[in-house]
Chains A and B, each alone.
Chain A
């Protein structure tokens, strides 16, 4: 049985609506109560870096706004009508029906209704995302599964150099769009084409249909997206490379490029040239700011604490520890990973750097997070977390930067923490927070 959650850092399975909204020209159709679409827009998009509605999110999300009549008599007829309406009214290439608590509790057979539309040759998919079935990460994976199973057909050819990317969760990761753009640029520097599937320029339905043609699948996260890539391996025989933390900063990103390049069969000189060029730029700024780093460390190095999902936490911790001379304090991982991944994730913090490890707590409840941080013998002097954590950071006397949902104290456009530039950006943002708080 799950426990109460105060100060949520992720929401319910229906949050998958934002996964759909992140696909170009895809239209989410929410078969749920009247407030679900808007509440999840608030939590995932608006009050999380102020990401906004985009093309067909926010109040454009199609919704059956389930009422008492549908609870009592069932909502399948109304769903059918709503999909018909959406096909006429909404200018989209792909329509995805997501069921909420109401539909899943009264037992509407949305899969059957949707399959009737697919039988007419229309690109309509269905994901069962009743809020009580799981959290937002679960909902994201249900949407991936639905699209792959229902809309992606085998493809006769393989496109050499095409790489499907399964990485951070759109909207849930406040910086997803910038991060995916960074992955694309990194892969491009090796001569590979990233099929990032979400965000600007990602190609919408056509890109999803191209998935089976990829040379391999790159899972760039601790666990999310792994199941999707494994299903593609089973179905189409597409190889899979799993890189469990976000590559951030110079050393980690170079390590990542070497691994991806080797896996993809990229010629060694091409890999070396890319790394050389990136590192030259990255360490130029590192060198130039060295006076500042040495003279103005304020309360750093102390320990940095983290309240973030496991893929961010691992990537940031490796960068700050291995290249920036900070010591990792307690790491609170908020993404509630499935049991089978926890030991491996915990282990990845045990050897962040030679002789340096970090303790890890898996917690999603704000009360538990606060008591964990308050009980530390060595409290952090820098806390990377969410906007909820401004308060506890203040109580602990720690500097604070919002890097994870919900983010209400900064606007996020194309900022990214992934890659070489992402590392620089992270340092800029940490010190922007510190410098503005001491003046």
Chain B
């Protein structure tokens, strides 16, 4: 629950939601275990690098246009800065905004800092950030090192706030605290909820917050016929726009894995209703999403006729795509809720889902409401499927995918996609997370996948001319052979 906090901020997902990163079984079983409390995590006796909370927290904060993010860490934790800078410049350019560098600073902790403490250095860095940019807010992200040496971020930042007169927020995203990197989203959103968002002065019921990553605004067209406006949050916004999130008529999210804590927090603290439904991917998901949105904003009748019209508008093309995809075996690997969305999309397009892997699993959401359970929605709509949970363990993915021999792979998350391609299987990277939203998104996506898969020569070339870094022994083992027994 959003209000259940440890003194350092929001609890990580393992503790707050019972989230896990190791599982081998089926979607149906995972849903059942999530609901009856039998779900227990399984750790690994061998693993490859995942991602950490710090990266996810910074992703959301680094694209704010008039804030500065200070990473209180040794310099390697800034390894993701160039990526965020590219996202920033690329996203601003695509939106027709002035292109500028992301404002990212590392305190560059060294050996004497970790021995003698680095609070003074942090305060100096905050001062320098203020002088360089006159930002509207500063976010200070924690690191493994700052956490282990026991830096008192909150205390130090209160001092800085008093000095500079702007919000200076601690983001508790120490990497070692969670194997579920999405915990970092929660830490960033917690800082925004605590320090930035203000109670509404006016209400704008037509405005719908949509918690998302950096994709284009495909929600605008979905909302427009209903007289609603999308407000994509948080990337590319100003701090002032964040302050006013409380004015919106509702909060939706492209993926509850991303926004569960934020959406629930905006409802609980500021009374902005959360759209509690499966994500708007695939026919049934979009139906449910729009109906719930319509209920919240009092537009049930408009939604009903919109659904009917939109379904009719895409029916012909959808049928043609289904004929093309009939018998095609697909595999999905992605973050949980988004992956569940794609399990619907692919099956709506007429493919057969032979397996899936999500990068963690949240057995419940922060709103405590089961209506948004994206996995049970897929199982209800399309039936059961083999499902594994691994935090981006490419050795497991490669092994599993080789066994299932899908015709096509749909993967989200940088740095895993290449392993599907090296198997010679047509592999589609989910780049823009909003691209397949709604009914039009379903056929838009179908067209895109069809064209991508029409010429798999890149994947075939890779498979022919590269070697996998795995032993023959490993490829003969069960994909989840390194999962240990459950521990409560």
Contact = CB atoms under 8 A, between A and B. Distances in A.
A44 B80 CA distance: 9
B461 to A, nearest CB: 15
Interface of A: 1-8, 10-15, 27, 30, 32-44, 46-48, 52-53, 55-56, 58-68, 70-71, 81-82, 84-86, 88-92, 100-102, 105-106, 130-136, 367, 387-388, 391, 405-406, 408
Interface residues of B, number: 75
A8 to B, nearest CB: 5
Contacts of B414: 42, 46
B376 interface: no
A248 B415 CA distance: 34
Given A8-B106, A105-B148, A63 B50 contact: yes
A58 B398 CA distance: 14
23 contacts: A2-B108, A2-B109, A4-B106, A4-B128, A6-B132, A8-B106, A11-B79, A32-B144, A38-B51, A42-B80, A43-B80, A52-B418, A58-B418, A59-B419, A82-B47, A85-B482, A89-B395, A89-B471, A91-B472, A101-B144, A105-B114, A132-B74, A132-B114
B144 to A, nearest CB: 5
A388 B101 contact: yes
A91 B466 CA distance: 13
Contact of A12 (B75, B80, B177, B418): B75
Contacts of B111: 132-133
Contacts of B85: 7, 387-388, 406, 408
Contacts of A81: 45-46
Given A11-B76, A39-B77, A43-B80, A91 B418 contact: no
A89 B394 contact: no
Contacts of B468: 91
A367 B46 CA distance: 42
B51 A43 contact: no
B101 A391 contact: yes
B83 interface: yes
A63 B181 CA distance: 15
B196 interface: no
A40 B52 CA distance: 12
A34 B50 contact: yes
B468 to A, nearest CB: 7
B108 A88 contact: no
B47 A131 contact: no
A46 B76 contact: no
Contacts of B108: 2-5
Task: Choose among A4, A11, A71, A106 the residue with the greatest number of B CB atoms under 10 Å from its CB.
Answer: A4
Nearest to B127: A4
- Top 3 nearest A-B pairs (CB, nearest first) are A35-B52, A85-B46, A37-B49
A367 B107 contact: no
Contacts of A134: 110
Contacts of B74: 12, 101, 130-132
Contacts of A86: 46
B315 interface: no
A59 B107 contact: no
Contacts of A100: 76, 144
Given A7-B101, A34-B181, A134-B110, 14 more contacts: A6-B105, A36-B77, A37-B49, A43-B81, A46-B83, A53-B415, A53-B418, A58-B418, A60-B394, A62-B47, A68-B176, A91-B468, A100-B76, A132-B114
A34 B175 contact: yes
Interface in B465-488: 466-474, 482
A274 to B, nearest CB: 33
B121 interface: yes
B48 A63 contact: yes
A82 B77 contact: no
A71 B106 contact: no
Interface in B76-111: 76-83, 85-86, 89, 100-101, 103-111
Given A8-B106, A11-B76, A132-B111, A34 B82 contact: no
Given A4-B124, A67-B176, A90 B470 contact: yes
B389 to A, nearest CB: 15
B53 A35 contact: yes
A406 B79 CA distance: 10
B46 A92 contact: no
B467 A55 contact: yes
Nearest to B468: A91
A66 B70 CA distance: 23
Given A55-B467, A63-B48, A406-B85, A132 B78 contact: no
B384 interface: no
Contact of B113 (A1, A63, A70): A1
A34 B52 contact: yes
Given A35-B54, A62-B47, A4 B107 contact: yes
Contacts of A71: 148, 176
A67 B21 CA distance: 13
A259 B168 CA distance: 57
B179 interface: yes
A139 B50 CA distance: 21
Interface in B25-65: 45-55
Contacts of A2: 108-110, 113
